[in-house]
Structures are given as structure tokens and as C-alpha cells.
Amino acid sequence: MSDVSINTEWLSDCSGCHIAIVDLHEKILNVLQAVKIQRCPVLTDIKDYPHATVGLVSGAIRNEHDRHAAIEMRKACDIIIAWGSCAVFGGPAGAGNIHTPAEIGRAVYLDNKTTTSANPPSHEVSALESVVSPLDAVIDVDLYLPGCPPHPAFVFESLSALVEGRQPEVNKRSVCAKCKRSMEKTDVSQIKSNSDGLPNAEQCFLSQGYTCMGSVTIDRCLAPCPANGVPCTGCAGATMQILTEPNRDIRTEIAERMSRLTKIDRAAIVASLERSSKSHYSYTMATAMIGSKPTFHIKKWIEDENADYEAGGAA
Ligand code: SF4
Ligand code: SF4
Ligand code: SF4
């Protein structure tokens, strides 16, 4: 048995990152032979935080319990890995930052056709923080492993590298690098929604007028969605280029590519992406790297879209 021990913790998330451990299948035996898994909500019943060499933390900081658990993991573990897009960027929960905790409480517990509570719970559940934050907003993080969840190949490589005392070999390419669809210039002149027709199975979605986020998303999945007929929605988070270059932005980069591949006007594509920004930025909305970009006004775009929707609904 190696001297490497692992604690895992599960903050506000969907559990998918912990299930990815099980998806290692027989490879997990190699990991288990090399490390001692101590605290792990899906494998062990240990509630406290014993000392460990490595701490894998999935999930975003959404409530007081998440903050407490993250701090305890940092105290207990020599190395902390932000594990999955929720921990790295805030993940889907980050879309909650468009609303106040009071609005969310009302929507979930009161203004809801399937809930009959007279009052939202006050003391039974941990209070929501004012905003959703990625893990490194609360504790220091040593290694980032985005993905929703990270593909087992990347989980295995990261754990193996830690056990062997080397840097993980993970690429910095976009999802397009693993996608087999071909980018071709076409005469397509209109943006399509996913419900418009059946996309060609060989051609890049952008060439066909469908929004695909593969070119602005880091590959931590080996591109399963475009391989199975579905455009990438960016669940692994943005590429290093988008994150580190202040004037590069998800909507402008996609618009640039799609307008070159089709006859659709670039400005029309940007406007379309802004109208659906709650979807296109949902995985990374909570991170300061995206939220502080000079081109980024997501809250305003969403408020404008909501106002248009309500105006249309009231008419
Ligand atoms: S990163 Fe994705 S799979 Fe992992 S916990 Fe978050 S939502 Fe679930
Ligand atoms: S944009 Fe989407 S469909 Fe086109 S190459 Fe990239 S991942 Fe594939
Ligand atoms: S192709 Fe895109 S949406 Fe699909 S798993 Fe990969 S990053 Fe996520």
C-alpha cells in the first residue's frame, strides 16, 4: 500500500463527479492498490476529515455548509484538487447568480405548483450564500480538473500522476481537436435551433448554422456529444485562450467561426448568443475569469431577454 491517502468531499453538485470514480471500472483497482481512499461520500461512511495527502473536492460553494466543508478539506489535505466544472468554475449552479437567494427560495418553495409549504425552510437547511462561487474563491487550490464530469481517462491520469509524483499529462486543446466533423464553408444563411431539422452527421455544426461550443471549450471529455449528433454545450468550461485573453469571449469567438463557415452575419450570431447567454455561459458564469471580462454583460443580456419574454407573455 502506498503512503498516498485520499479524502473526497461533495459540495453543491449533482454527484456526477463522484460517480465518475465508479466509471473507472477495473482501472479503479490500479488506483486502489496505489492509494488509500479514506473519506469518500460514495464509498466510505466517514463524516470527519482525517489527514490525507490528496483532497478531491467536487461541487460549488452555494451555502454555508459548502464553505465549512471546503475549509475543513483544506486543513486536512496536503494537495487540493478542484474536481469537475462545478468546483473549477461554479458549474451549472453558477446560473443562480442571476437571481438573489430570496428569489430562488420563493421559486423553489413558494411560487411552485408542486410545493405547498407555507414558508421556506429556515433552520433545517444550510443558508444560501449571496452568490455561487468556485472552490478557489474560498480555499487555495493546487490542481484544476474541469469536466462535467471529467472523463475517467483524465481522472485516472491525474490520480496516477499524483501517486507517481509527476505532473499530469493533460492537453490544453478544445473539444474540436477530438471531434471528427469537418468544418466546411456552406451557403447556410440562418441560425438554427436544435429542434430545426436533423443535422448532417459528418459536417461541423457551425457549418450548418447550429450553435456548438466545441471550439471555446477545453477537452476533458473526448468529444462524445458531437460524435453522437449533439452540439457541445460547453460543460467542461472554457479553453485557456478564452480564460486568459481578456478580449476573447465565448460569443465573439463562436460568431467569428460560424460567420466564416456560413453566410450568416457575425453581428446576428453575437446577438443570438447573447439572447441565450444563460445557457451558453451557464457552466462558467460564477468564475471571476469570465465574469470580469470587458466584453461580458451577461446579467444585462439575461435581464433584457427576461423583460422581452415577460412583455411578450403579458401581451
Ligand atoms: S461538474 Fe458536472 S458532473 Fe460534476 S458535479 Fe458538477 S454538474 Fe455534476
Ligand atoms: S464546433 Fe463542434 S461540431 Fe464543429 S468541429 Fe468543433 S466540436 Fe465539432
Ligand atoms: S462535448 Fe461539450 S457538452 Fe459534451 S461532454 Fe464534452 S464539453 Fe461537455
Predicted TM-score of the model (pTM): 0.88
pLDDT tens for each residue of the chain, 315 residues long = 457 888 999 999 999 999 887 776 666 666 667 778 899 988 888 889 999 998 999 999 999 999 999 999 999 999 999 999 999 999 998 888 888 888 888 888 888 777 776 666 666 778 899 999 999 999 999 888 999 998 888 888 887 887 788 888 888 899 999 999 999 999 999 999 888 888 999 999 999 999 999 999 999 999 999 999 999 999 999 998 888 887 788 999 999 999 999 999 999 999 999 888 888 888 888 887 776 666 667 777 777 777 777 777 543
Q: How many structural domains comprise the chain?
A: 2
Task: Please indicate, yes or no, whether residues 97 and 211 belong to a single structural domain of this protein.
Answer: no
User: Do residues 117 and 145 share a domain?
Assistant: yes
Residues 22 and 106 reside in one and the same domain: yes
- CA pair distance 48, 24, nearest whole angstrom: 26
Q: How far is the CA of 115 from the centre of ligand 1 (A)?
A: 26
Judged by its nearest atom, the ligand closest to the C-alpha of residue 150 is 1
**Dist. CA 223 → ligand 3 center (Å):** 6
264 and 157 co-located in one domain:
no
Ligand nearest to the CA of 181: 2
Given this model, what pLDDT does residue 306 score? 75
- The ligand placed nearest to the CA atom of residue 13 is 1
* Residue 1 confidence (pLDDT): 45
Cis peptide before 149 (omega within 30 of 0): yes
Residue where a domain terminates, one of 109, 137, 164: 164
Residue of the CA atom closest to atom 8 of ligand 3? 235
Residue 226 lies in a domain: yes
| Residue to substitute in 180, 203, 206 for testing ligand 2 pocket (most ligand atoms within 8 angstroms of CB) | 206
Q: Which of 106, 139, 164 is the last residue of a domain?
A: 164
What pLDDT was estimated at residue 205?
98
For the chain, the helix, strand and coil percentages under 3-state DSSP, each to the nearest 5: 40, 15, 45
Q: Which residues contact 42 (CB under 8 A, 6 or more apart)?
A: 10, 15, 18, 19, 21, 22
User: Is 102 in the same domain as 186?
Assistant: no
Distance, CA of 94 to CA of 302 (rounded, Å): 14
Q: Is the dihedral of CA 25, 28, 30, 33 positive or negative?
A: negative
Residue nearest to ligand 2 atom 6, measured at CA: 176
Ligand 2 near 235 CB (within 6 A): no
> Looking at the structure, do residues 251 and 188 belong to the same domain, yes or no?
yes
What atom of ligand 2 comes closest to residue 203's alpha carbon?
3
Residue 76 maps to which CATH number?
3.40.50.700
In ligand 3, which atom is closest to the CA atom of 233?
3
Ligand showing the shortest atom-to-Cα distance for residue 176: 2
DSSP 8-state assignment for residue 209 = T
Q: How many CB atoms lie within 10 A of CB 263?
A: 12
* Domain presence at residue 185: yes
Residues 145 and 199 reside in one and the same domain: no
Measured CA to CA in angstroms, residue 169 lies from 145, 188, 226 at distances of 12, 39, 24
Say yes or no: 188 and 275 in one domain: yes
pLDDT of residue 160: 80
Q: The cell 490528496 sits on which residue?
A: 54
Q: Do residue 60 and residue 201 come from a single domain?
A: no
**At a CB cut-off of 8 Å and minimum separation 6, what does 40 contact?**
6, 7, 8, 18, 21, 46
pLDDT given for residue 28 in this prediction? 65
Residues 16 and 81 reside in one and the same domain? yes
Q: How far is the CA of 212 from the centre of ligand 3 (A)?
A: 10
- Cβ distance 104 to 110 under 8 Å? no
Q: Identify whether 13 is part of a domain.
A: yes
Q: C-alpha cell of 35?
A: 492509494
DSSP H helices, the chain, are: 16-22, 27-34, 64-76, 85-89, 101-105, 152-164, 224-227, 240-244, 250-261, 266-275, 277-280, 288-291, 298-314
| Ligand 2: centre distance to CA 206 (Å) | 7
In a domain? residue 169: no
232 lines ligand 2 (CB under 6 A): yes
Q: Are 26 and 33 in contact (CB under 8 A)?
A: no
In a domain, 253, yes or no: yes
What is the distance in A from the centroid of ligand 2 to the CA of 272?
Answer: 18
pLDDT at 34: 72
Instruction: Give yes or no: residues 17 and 147 share one domain.
Output: yes
Q: CA-CA distances (angstroms) from residue 271 to 47, 209, 294, 302, 303?
A: 48, 14, 17, 12, 14
Q: What is the pLDDT of residue 314?
A: 42
How far apart are alpha carbons 55 and 153 in whole angstroms?
19
> Atom 1 (ligand 2): residue with closest C-alpha?
214
Residue range(s) defining the domain that contains residue 37? 5-164
Which ligand sits closest to the CA of 134? 1
How many angstroms is it from 51 CA to the middle of ligand 1?
25
Using the mean position of ligand 3's atoms as its centre, give its distance from the Cα of residue 231 in Å.
8
Whether residues 188 and 280 share a domain: the answer is yes
Residue 157 lies in a domain: yes
Residues 6+ apart with CB under 8 A from 59: 9, 10, 11, 12, 13, 17, 66, 84, 86, 87, 91
C-alpha–C-alpha distance, residues 63 and 57, integer Å: 15
Asked which of 130, 164, 198 is the last residue of a domain, the reply is 164
Residue 214 Cα to ligand 2 middle (Å): 5
> Is residue 170 situated within a structural domain?
no
Confirm whether 183 is domain-assigned.
yes
